[in-house]
């Protein structure tokens, strides 16, 4: 059996109430008494039962975190940021992976919400209505998506696309393909919006290749469509798809950057490990996580200001080997 507050009280020769105070509000206890309590607690290896505490304080000291797919290298980075920031703030985190399934997501939100002080939803798949109906319960922040007045941390997708297009046009490209992500993805819609807004004024023709699941195999499939589209450059919804593109293009003897330029989005670690390294729009992945936790903590202090809590982080094009000047043939 674990050691409880009563054990400490007995050993220290005081009441449980005093033990509690000595440990949580030391200034309310006379120094010598406090010392005895602390000593006893230490000797017994006492540490308070958080569940019991939570029962009465209403705070659990836990945060919930829901991600769509840990196998996508983008998410572990975000999770790492969240976990690190939460630990600094004295919180532990519940992690759940939904396997990209929106119904699982809803179920998990409901289940977890009972045991946490707040939740971070990473790239949520749920439909807006559902999201709203659940959001009322516990404070929660969304990452990589904006819905109604739910607090969120997002990145400047439009700015990222602007940088990408500027880079390509500077290199001479005038016809650029976009291999899109899932139609339901907020990030994809934003990226597309950015591209559509930027392309005309940059004097480039945008060719939308279609919507794909954000996977390697999708990049493979997209590559053939890209080749048929007669473009000199392609922007992919994310790095993993860009890798698929690169792979299949090379299989068809079209090499980056000489024959075609390829840009990814995310800047996952492996983007810099391949040859040629992938030019990509970097997202501050860990910072997205840290920032999300910061927002959540602020919200938990002051639940009223929910509506205004919103952060947008910068993106940065990383120019690497997969893009190069247009070769006029």
Which lies closer to a second copy via its Cβ, residue 22 or residue 93? Answer: 93
Asked if 292 contacts 139 with a C-beta cutoff of 8 angstroms, the reply is no
Which lies closer to DNA via its Cβ, residue 18 or residue 188? Answer: 18
Site for DNA in 53-72 (CB under 7 A): 53, 55-57
Binder of residue 297, out of a second copy, DNA, none (CB less than 5 to 8 A by kind): none
| Rounded-to-integer distance, Cα 19 and Cα 15, Å | 7
Residue 20 sits in the site that holds DNA (CB under 7 A) = yes
Residue 129 sits in the site that holds a second copy (CB under 8 A) = no
Q: Give the shortest CB-59-to-DNA separation in angstroms.
A: 9
Give the residue from 103, 111, 2 showing the smallest Cα distance to 62. 111
Asked if 317 contacts 281 with a C-beta cutoff of 8 angstroms, the reply is yes
CA 288 from centre of chain: 6
Q: Which CA distances in Å does 163 have to 19, 167, 233? A: 59, 6, 14
Sequence-ordered list of residues with C-beta below 8 angstroms from that of 99, at least 6 positions apart, any chain: 68, 69
CA angle centred on 49, ends 45 and 55, rounded to 5°: 165
Residue 94 sits in the site that holds a second copy (CB under 8 A) = yes
Which lies closer to DNA via its Cβ, residue 107 or residue 314? Answer: 107
Tokens of 145: 């998506």
Binder of residue 314, out of a second copy, DNA, none (CB less than 5 to 8 A by kind): none
| Rounded-to-integer distance, Cα 187 and Cα 193, Å | 10
x/- mask, a second copy, residues 239-278, rule CB under 8 A, reads: -x--xx-xx--x------------------xx--xxx---
Size of the site for DNA (CB under 7 A): 29
Binder of residue 308, out of a second copy, DNA, none (CB less than 5 to 8 A by kind): none
Q: Give the shortest CB-84-to-DNA separation in angstroms.
A: 25
**Containing H/E element for 48?**
none
Give the residue from 70, 97, 65 showing the smallest Cα distance to 296. 65
Q: Which residues contribute to the site for a second copy (CB under 8 A)?
A: 2, 47, 49-52, 54-55, 60, 62, 65, 70-71, 73, 75-77, 79-80, 83-84, 87, 92-97, 99, 110-112, 114-115, 137, 216, 240, 243-244, 246-247, 250, 269-270, 273-275
């Amino acid at each position: 059996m674990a050691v409880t507050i009563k054990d400490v009280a007995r050993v220290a020769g005081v009441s449980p109430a005093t033990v509690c105070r000595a440990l949580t509000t030391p200034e309310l206890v006379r120094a010598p008494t406090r010392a005895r309590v602390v000593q006893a607690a230490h000797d017994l290896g006492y540490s308070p039962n958080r569940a019991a505490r939570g029962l009465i304080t209403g705070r659990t000291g836990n945060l919930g975190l829901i991600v769509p797919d840990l196998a996508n290298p983008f998410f572990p980075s975000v999770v790492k940021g969240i976990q690190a920031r939460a630990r600094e703030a004295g919180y532990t985190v519940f992690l759940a992976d939904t396997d990209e399934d929106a119904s699982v997501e809803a179920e998990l939100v409901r289940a977890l919400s009972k045991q946490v002080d707040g939740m971070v939803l990473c790239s949520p798949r749920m439909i807006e209505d559902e999201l709203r109906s659940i959001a009322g319960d516990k404070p929660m922040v969304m990452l990589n998506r904006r819905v109604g007045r739910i607090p969120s941390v997002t990145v400047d997708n439009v700015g990222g696309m602007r940088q990408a297009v500027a880079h390509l046009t500077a290199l001479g490209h005038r016809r650029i393909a976009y291999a899109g992500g899932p139609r339901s993805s907020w990030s994809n819609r934003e990226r597309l919006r950015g591209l559509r807004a930027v392309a005309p004024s940059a004097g480039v023709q945008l060719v939308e290749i279609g919507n794909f699941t954000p996977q390697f195999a999708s990049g493979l499939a997209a590559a053939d469509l890209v080749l048929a589209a007669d473009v000199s450059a392609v922007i992919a919804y994310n790095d993993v798809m860009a890798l698929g593109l690169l792979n299949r293009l090379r299989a068809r003897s079209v090499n980056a950057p000489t024959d075609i330029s390829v840009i990814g989005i995310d800047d996952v670690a492996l983007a810099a490990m391949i040859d040629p390294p992938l030019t990509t729009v970097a997202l501050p992945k860990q910072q997205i996580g840290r920032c999300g936790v910061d927002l959540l903590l602020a919200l938990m202090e002051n639940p009223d200001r929910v509506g205004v809590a919103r952060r947008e982080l910068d993106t940065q094009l990383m120019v690497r080997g997969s893009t190069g000047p247009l070769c006029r043939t």
